[in-house]
Amino acid sequence: MKKVLGILALAFIISIGRVYADEGMWLPMFVERLNYVDMQKMGLQLTPEELYSINHNSLKDAIVGLGSDAKPRGFFCTGEIVSEHGLLFTNHHCGYSSIQKLSSVEHDYLKDGFWAKNYSEELPAADMTASFLIRMEDVTNDVLGVVTNDMDFAARNMAINAKIKELEAAASEDGKYNPVIKGFFEGNEYYMFVYQVYTDVRLVGVANSSIGKFGGDTDNWMWPRHTGDFSIFRVYADKNGNPAPYSKDNVPLTPKHHLPISLDGVQKDDFTMIWGFPGSTERYMSSYGIDYNVDTFYPIIIDIFGKQLEVMDEYMQADDAINLMYADNHAGLANTWKNFIGQCTMLRKNKVSETKVALEKDFMSWVYSDPNRKAEYGQALPNLKKAYGTLGKVAKYIYYPNFVAQTGPAGIAAAFAPYYNAYEEKDKETAAMMLEQLKGMDVDAMFAETNPQVEKKTFAELLKTYKNAFKAEELPEIYDIIDKKFKGDIDAFADDVYANSIFATPESIKAFLEKPNPKKIGKDYAYIMSTSMMGKIMENVPAYREAMNVVSENDHVFVKGLREYYAATQPEKSLYPDANSTMRMSYGSVQDYQPADAVHYDYVCTANGIIEKYVPGDYEFDAPKELISLIEKKDYGVYADDNGELIVCFLSTNDITGGNSGSPIMNGKGELLGLAFDGNWEAMSGDVNFEPKLQRTINVDIRYVLFIIDKYAGATNLIDELDIRKSEPKPLRVEEETPVQG
């Protein structure tokens, strides 16, 4: 086991004053402006320079943004470098897509796991990239310097976007770096993030999904949690350490910094830090936005995604090949579906809209107490109320047809609309050009990883879902055809489409493109379905777009005013920007919580809970027999705690959201304690309003990760690569006896 200096994370401050520890996703470039003494009192043992530096190696250099292309503008997850040979830890669900694509029925790594014994056995994850932050820079003055007082909001955005492109191009150094500029506080500040992106990332190790996804959708967002949510990759570079496309000649990256690993575990009140790339929060959203999401937008997505998942589950549980085929798609849909259910439930239960209303009332009183403030900010909230009212009326007429029309043959038919329209208009030149573009499509790719039975049933069930959401007179033309030609039988309609539509199979599409007859398109039921639903969308698009523009403009004004309001009325309150897939850190502590009256949740859960939940053969709660045997014998080795138990997961108060999955959670010495992978159900409203009494991060304990690697998988080659540390026991203090005088 090799040694490396350990470092830890800190948080940032954008405005003056203090913040309660726990809440906030902070930009690390402002580390020296933080109330550093308070963090040290909580347990931090490192200097600001050890945390974030652009001149020396620092903690930020071990934090990796995981993307899916060579120039990512955002990251789906976070990873951390844990060895001097570019070894990377992240969550199982973060590696899920790559693992699925590398799998086959014969070699199903999701089902069976995978462990490379040496570099030559590691598998290229073609759809994963690893981005390292080189530096971040405040470019607010440069970006907003192009804005003039006579610009309307649209012109303002055009000028800003042009300036952003110019600054990003200048910072790329002819393609060496990938600079990304993003707006903060609803476009009131701008920061540039310069990344170096490595595209050769390889799968090294992953446990069976019965470990990495134990509990499935049932346990998702729930505590206690017994999921071994980790996977292992390695970043490769050319011989000079630079990013390079996949090549057998590439070598493991020698990183600027990697994280040591602690076997000390956690105790209540221990200091914790998380670094990563949180995706999106809406902490400054108005009450009107919250009400729109809860009453309109989220229920639509829950309705549609829920039906899709119902169909997938039916076929996936019955067929291993279908299960593998749809695994990644199902995981993404299920996570969003349950997330929105949780947000709807907890935004109401935690009275978040009411909290915002109280804030808005105070804000408006402050605004109206000054004529200049009234002129600048007085209409922001009334405008938001009106715009969200419009969205609430038209959203269902946009989202239902949009999602349903993308399904199966109807979704493919939409690509043929420009060609058919040119034919109808007798524009032969345009029609010929459109046809050539269609011939360039990769038709086989459109049908890759799809099953006709699953697709047809999904097609039919979503048509039923759409119909059930509207009055008869609100439905598009395709439902009249179903009523007249198929006596209202949507299943019979789906059978006909999949048997006869041009767009139902790759063979029928290829045959049409070889001998095109555009007249057939206009009579194709899949095409009619697509165009009739698009017609419904277009009827409502003008009102929808106008309302969304009003929301964007007035959110900008409202947040600008809100910052002034806090500075004037609560100067001790620090404001942090919403998450936007840029590097952040949060700090907090290990804590239990009380989710309801007379209910208490401990801050750790043990492997005993796996035995309690274990259901042999169950889709979600099965577990490998070898794992069950190890747990029953309590054969935990050095990974047991002081009581001889194996901690699987633990809770902390760190502020995270989606995108933080896979983030390292560290102690005060910068040593890895575990991997963050989820939030808790009772605080699903946390993306909009932080709930200090309830909000917890669920982390897989690094000792459980190492136990699986070592004792379960026998991948000791990986254990030997890590810098694993354990504190020496403190010596007992023996007081010297005072002699009795006599």
Tell me which of 677 and 34 has the higher pLDDT.
Answer: 677
Angle, to 10 degrees, between the axis of helix 525-569 and the axis of helix 417-424?
120
Residue 688 and residue 604: Cα distance in Å, rounded?
27
The pLDDT assigned to 33 comes to 67
Q: What pLDDT, on a 0 to 100 scale, did the predictor assign at position 38?
A: 76
Q: Name the CATH architecture for the domain at 28-282+578-724.
A: Beta Barrel (2.40)
pLDDT digit string, tens, across residues 679-700? 999 999 999 999 999 999 999 9
- Candidates 85, 92, 93, 226; catalytic one: 93
> Rounded to the nearest 5 degrees, what angle is found at the Cα of 417, between the Cα atoms of 413 and 420?
115
Q: Nearest-5° angle of CA 404, CA 406, CA 412?
A: 140
Domain ranges of the chain: 28-282+578-724, 287-546
pLDDT digits (tens, 9 = 90+) for 151-169: 999 999 999 999 999 999 9
What does the pLDDT read at residue 34? Answer: 56
Give pLDDT tens digits for 371-406.
999 999 999 999 999 999 999 999 999 999 999 999
Give residue 31's pLDDT: 67
Segment 315-332 mean pLDDT = 95
pLDDT for res 186: 97
Inter-helix orientation angle 490-500/452-468, to 10°: 140
Interacting residues of 149 by C-beta distance below 8 A, sequence separation 6+: none
Based on its alpha-carbon atoms, the radius of gyration of the chain, rounded to whole angstroms, reads: 28
Amino acid, single-letter form, for residue 657? T
pLDDT digits (tens, 9 = 90+) for 334-375: 999 999 999 999 999 999 999 999 999 999 999 999 999 999
Amino acid at 458: T
pLDDT of 41: 84
**Cβ contacts of residue 397 below 8 Å, gap of 6+?**
474, 536, 537, 539, 540
Q: Fill in the amino acid letter for 205.
A: G
Is residue 685 within a helix (H) or strand (E), and if so which, with residue range? none
- Given the residues 353, 661, 663, 685, the one annotated as active site: 661
At residue 574 the predicted structure's pLDDT band, cuts being 50, 70 and 90, is confident
Is 592 marked active-site?
Answer: no
For the question of residue 229 being annotated catalytic, the response is: yes
Interatomic CA distance for residues 255 and 709, integer angstroms = 22
Looking at residue 596, its amino acid is A
Question: Given the DSSP bridges, would you call strands 584-589 and 672-679 parallel, antiparallel or unpaired?
Answer: unpaired
pLDDT mean over 320-328? 95
Place of tokens 């292992």: 232
Query: For 182-211, what is the mean pLDDT?
Result: 98
The owner of tokens 């007379």 is 598
The pLDDT of residue 5 is: 29
Q: Is 61 a catalytic residue?
A: no
pLDDT one-digit tens code per residue, 642-654: 999 999 999 999 9
Tokens matching residue 249:
């000649």
> Could you say which of 229, 655, 678, 701 is catalytic?
229
